[in-house]
């Protein structure tokens, strides 16, 4: 570990940039033909940093037509999230899904809407990289003839403790380790069975994951000296965003043939400075794709940080049910297990039902699921129910086999949620974990179109309002496995529950 203050001491202070300055720059560049960012989100937790944007769990051309119309009619900012769930797929499936989505989005846009594409993935560097941006770039080129000059990688997620400084991606410490930084390759996330990695320096990570196709020394690094090039002098002014934008665009100028570009980010102002620089680079003619963590889109479109929703705001416009709420926990990272333990300790009124993962593989899954559903429905009549998979993680050394096990478990969770919804709809639903929350949204709750209302905790944990399907009007909380502290799951549940 190292101290964040010591690492930052080598770089300028951040440039103060209002969100509106970015929003105005985006609007000015759009002109008569609006540009909409299509965010291919490899699990649904990427929405936790934004508010009032449409989300799709299906991606036919008609779904994009709905989203583009919603943006115009509601005058929301120009971005739409598409829930791809590709982090739970193998490489062949993930590639095919990315291609299908891009083709359908371009078909729906036609000549009326200009599109930019964002590949949103994990802030701890897990996911199909460089596969996904490669497929997006190839599909755009095939459909439009437009080549991609650069792929901008911005995994930082300061709200959740992930920052990039000097081209190195770190995780911030908490509790007694507050103020310390751990290179992300030294954390549990780097040992992921499907997406493990060895390098925290992003240029070397690119070389590692591209198997040498992109050498580390060919990666353009936008460090804080560039991002903060317009930093204020000692006179105490806010700094000059134009200088930062120019420095960023100048640094990107050599990019060609999908050159990887990695960016430092520590604060929201860094995101906004980067957004202005990217806007300037694109104004000069650069064609860019983005591979990013959750907050990038908020900064890129100039959206203000939405304060955490209250319990009253979560139900605004919908009468809450008198039933209990359903909390579904599938993630196995250590933080999730600690959050689950805190919730079960504090919420003594909740019924706790464990899904025996081993039982799914050794007994009749359908019969077992039916038994669980009956228990969940019975408990919901009296209060909240916590359904969690057993904490023993079954995995193998084979990445594809590990994903197959994860999908089998997720299918059982989805079936339990879906049967429960259609038997006795809960007051709210919280899904903990990336794959879990994706499958619960698209299949368990049968959400096709939703609106991201905002975060339930500052900068993290997203509330979706389903606008169609059997879950319409039921608050749905998308809760990543790797965010928050030990109290976070209990805090969100307390906001929504009538018995906690």
Q: What number does CATH give the domain 2-301?
A: 3.40.50.10840
What is the Cα 77 distance to its own chain's centre? 18
Please report, for residues 1, 343, 365, 426, 429, the alpha-carbon distance to residue 450 in angstroms, rounded to integers and kept in the order given. 41, 27, 31, 18, 14
Superfamily of domain 311-496: Four-carbon acid sugar kinase, nucleotide binding domain (3.40.980.20)
Report the percent of the chain where pLDDT is more than 70: 95
What is the model's pTM? 0.91
Q: How does DSSP assign 257-301, residue by residue?
A: SSEEEEE-B-SHHHHHHHHHHHHHHHHTT--EEEEE-TTHHHHHH
Measured CA to CA in angstroms, residue 319 lies from 183, 323, 384, 472 at distances of 46, 12, 17, 11
Could you read off the pLDDT of 58-91 as tens digits, one per residue? 999 999 999 999 999 999 999 999 999 899 899 9
Q: What are phi and psi of 303, to 5 degrees?
A: -90, 135
Residue 83, token pair as written in the block: 């829930």
- CA geometry: angle at 66 spanning 58 and 81, to 5°? 55
Pairwise pLDDT comparison (402 vs 110), residue with the higher score: 110
CB distance 22 to 301 below 8 Å: yes
Q: Is the pLDDT assigned to residue 313 strictly greater than 80?
A: yes
Of 198-212, 229-243, 385-399, the range with the lowest mean pLDDT is 385-399
Q: Which residues are CB-neighbours of 182 under 8 A, at least 6 positions away?
A: 1, 170, 171, 173
Q: What gap in Å lies between CA 249 and CA 227, rounded to an integer? A: 10
Question: What SS3 class is residue 236?
Answer: coil
For residue 389, what pLDDT is reported? 80
- What value does the mean pLDDT of the chain take? 92
Cα Rg, the chain, nearest whole Å: 22
For residue range 414-453, what is the model confidence (pLDDT) as tens digits?
A: 999 999 999 999 999 999 987 788 889 999 999 999 999 9
Report the distance separating Cα 500 and Cα 498, nearest Å: 6
Residues 480, 432: Cα–Cα separation, whole Å: 6
- Tokens for 462, please give them: 């997203």
d(CA 301, CA 227): 17
At residue 391 the predicted structure's pLDDT band, cuts being 50, 70 and 90, is low
Residue 397: band (very low, low, confident or very high) from pLDDT cuts 50, 70, 90: low
Task: Name the residue ranges covered by the structural domains of the chain.
Answer: 2-301, 311-496
List Cα–Cα distances, 187 to 126, 270, 480, in angstroms: 12, 24, 17
């Amino acid at each position: 570990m190292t101290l964040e203050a010591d690492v930052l001491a080598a770089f300028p202070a951040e440039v103060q940039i209002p969100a509106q300055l970015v929003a105005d720059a985006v609007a000015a560049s759009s002109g008569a033909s609006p540009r909409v960012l299509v965010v291919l989100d490899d699990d649904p937790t990427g929405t936790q940093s934004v508010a009032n944007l449409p989300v799709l769990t299906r991606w036919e051309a008609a779904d994009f037509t709905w989203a583009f119309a919603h943006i115009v009619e509601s005058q929301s900012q120009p971005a739409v999230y598409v829930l791809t769930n590709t982090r739970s797929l193998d490489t062949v499936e993930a590639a095919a899904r990315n291609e299908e989505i891009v083709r359908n989005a371009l078909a729906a846009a036609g000549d009326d809407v200009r599109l930019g594409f964002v590949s949103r993935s994990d802030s701890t560097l897990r996911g199909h990289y460089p596969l996904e941006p490669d497929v997006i770039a190839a599909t755009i080129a095939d459909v439009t003839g437009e080549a991609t000059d650069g792929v901008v990688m911005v995994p930082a997620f300061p709200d959740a403790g992930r920052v990039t400084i000097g081209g190195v991606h770190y995780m911030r410490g908490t509790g007694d380790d507050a103020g310390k930084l751990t290179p992300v390759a030294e954390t549990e996330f780097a040992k992921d069975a499907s997406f493990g990695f060895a390098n925290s320096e992003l240029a070397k990570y690119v070389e590692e994951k591209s198997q040498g196709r992109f050498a580390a020394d060919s990666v353009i690094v936008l460090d804080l000296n560039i991002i903060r090039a317009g930093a204020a002098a000692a006179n105490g002014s806010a700094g000059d965003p134009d200088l930062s934008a120019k420095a960023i665009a100048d640094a990107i100028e050599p990019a060609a043939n999908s050159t990887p570009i990695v960016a430092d980010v520590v604060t929201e102002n860094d995101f906004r400075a980067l957004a202005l620089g990217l806007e300037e680079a694109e104004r000069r003619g650069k064609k860019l794709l983005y591979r990013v963590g959750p907050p990038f889109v908020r900064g890129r479109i100039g959206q203000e940080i939405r304060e955490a929703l209250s319990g009253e705001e979560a139900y605004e416009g919908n009468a809450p049910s008198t039933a209990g709420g359903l909390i579904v926990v599938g993630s196995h990272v250590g933080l999730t297990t600690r959050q689950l333990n805190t919730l079960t300790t504090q919420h003594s009124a909740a019924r706790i039902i464990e899904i025996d993962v081993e039982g799914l593989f050794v007994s009749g899954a359908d019969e077992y699921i039916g038994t669980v559903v009956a228990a969940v429905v019975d408990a919901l009549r009296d209060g909240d129910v916590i359904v969690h998979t057993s904490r023993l993680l079954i995995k193998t050394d084979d990445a594809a086999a590990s994903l197959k096990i994860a999908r089998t478990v997720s299918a059982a969770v989805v079936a339990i949620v879906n049967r429960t919804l259609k038997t006795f709809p809960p007051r709210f639903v919280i899904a903990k974990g990336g794959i879990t929350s994706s499958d619960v949204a698209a299949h368990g709750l049968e959400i096709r179109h939703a609106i991201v209302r905002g975060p339930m905790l500052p900068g993290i944990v997203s509330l979706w309002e389903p606008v169609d399907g059997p879950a319409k009007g039921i608050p749905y909380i998308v809760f990543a496995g790797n965010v928050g502290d030990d109290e976070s799951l209990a805090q969100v549940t307390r906001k929504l529950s009538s018995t906690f």
